[in-house]
Chains A and B, each alone.
Chain A
Amino acid sequence: MYKFLVCTSLSSFAVVSQPRIVQASLRVQKDGVGHCTKVPRNVNMERLQNHYLFYEISRRKLEHIEKYPNAKVISLGIGDTTEPLPEIIASSMAKYAQALSTPEGYRGYGPEQGNKELRKAIADSFYQDVPVKETEVFVTDGSQCDISRLQLLLGSNVTVAVQDPTFPAYIDSSVIIGQAGDFKDEAGKCGNIEYMKCSAQNNFFPDLENTSRADIIFFCSPNNPTGHAATWKQLKKLVDFARDNGSIIIFDSAYASYVMDDCPRSIFEIPGAREVAIEVSSFSKFAGFTGVRLGWTVVPDELLFSNGFPVINDFDRIVCTCFNGASNIAQAGGLACLSSEGLKAAESLVHHYMDNAKMLVETFTSLGLEVYGGTNAPYVWVRFPGTKSWDVFSEILEKTHIITVPGSGFGPGGEEYIRFSAYGNRKCILEASQRMKTLFS
Chain B
Amino acid sequence: MAAMNANNLCTSTISSSSSAFLAPTSFNSRAQSVPVRVKRIVVIRCVAAPQQEQTAYKTNVSRNANMAKLQAGYLFPEIARRRAAHLQKYPNAQVISLGIGDTTEPIPEVITSAMAKRSHGLSTLEGYSGYGAEQGEKLLRTAIASTFYSNLGIEEDDIFVSDGAKCDISRLQLLFGSNVTMAVQDPSYPAYVDSSVIMGQTGQFQKDVQKYGNIEYMRDQLTQLVKFAKENGSIIVFDSAYAMYMSDDNPRSIFEIPGAKEVAIETSSFSKYAGFTGVRLGWTVVPKQLLFSDGFPVAKDFNRIVCTCFNGASNIPQAGGLACLSPEGLKAMQEVIGFYKENTKIIVDTFDSLGFKVYGGANAPYVWVHFPGRSSWDVFSEILEKTHVVTTPGSGFGPGGEGFIRVSAFGHRENVLEACRRFKELYR
Contact = CB atoms under 8 A, between A and B. Distances in A.
B130 A288 contact: yes
B106 A21 contact: no
A125 B34 CA distance: 6
A147 B131 CA distance: 17
Given A148-B309, A176-B308, A317-B73, A39 B195 contact: no
B180 to A, nearest CB: 6
Given A42-B179, A155-B200, A313-B8, A108 B103 contact: yes
Interface of B: 1-2, 4-5, 8-10, 12-19, 23-27, 29-41, 43-47, 49-50, 53-54, 56-68, 70, 73-74, 76-77, 100, 102-109, 111-113, 115-117, 119-125, 127-132, 163-164, 166-167, 169-170, 174-180, 191, 194-195, 198-200, 229-230, 232-235, 259, 262-263, 275, 277-281, 288-297, 299-301, 304-305, 307-317, 320, 410
Interface string A1-37: 1110000000000000001111011001100001111
A303 B50 CA distance: 11
Nearest to B278: A328
Contacts of B234: 37-39
A145 interface: yes
Contact of A83 (B17, B64, B128): B128
Given A21-B299, A104-B24, 14 more contacts: A2-B294, A24-B289, A34-B289, A45-B175, A45-B177, A98-B115, A99-B26, A100-B278, A108-B275, A155-B66, A173-B308, A291-B131, A324-B164, A340-B32
Nearest to A332: B27
Nearest to B37: A265
A360 B279 CA distance: 39
Contacts of B62: 157-158, 215, 305-307
Contacts, number: 475
Interface residues of A, number: 155
Given A37-B292, A97-B115, A322 B166 contact: yes
A303 B291 CA distance: 42
A272 B48 CA distance: 10
Q: Which of B4, B36, B167, B301 has the most chain A CB within a 10 Å cutoff?
A: B36
A398 B164 CA distance: 42
Q: Which 9 A-B pairs have the closest CB atoms?
A: A246-B60, A38-B233, A121-B31, A155-B64, A42-B177, A109-B17, A90-B123, A148-B309, A322-B170
A368 interface: no
Contacts of B308: 48, 52, 144, 148, 169, 172-173, 176
B200 A156 contact: yes
A247 B19 CA distance: 42
A180 to B, nearest CB: 13
17 contacts: A25-B291, A40-B294, A96-B27, A101-B111, A144-B311, A145-B167, A155-B66, A158-B61, A172-B308, A246-B60, A262-B41, A293-B315, A310-B2, A316-B12, A320-B16, A324-B166, A332-B26
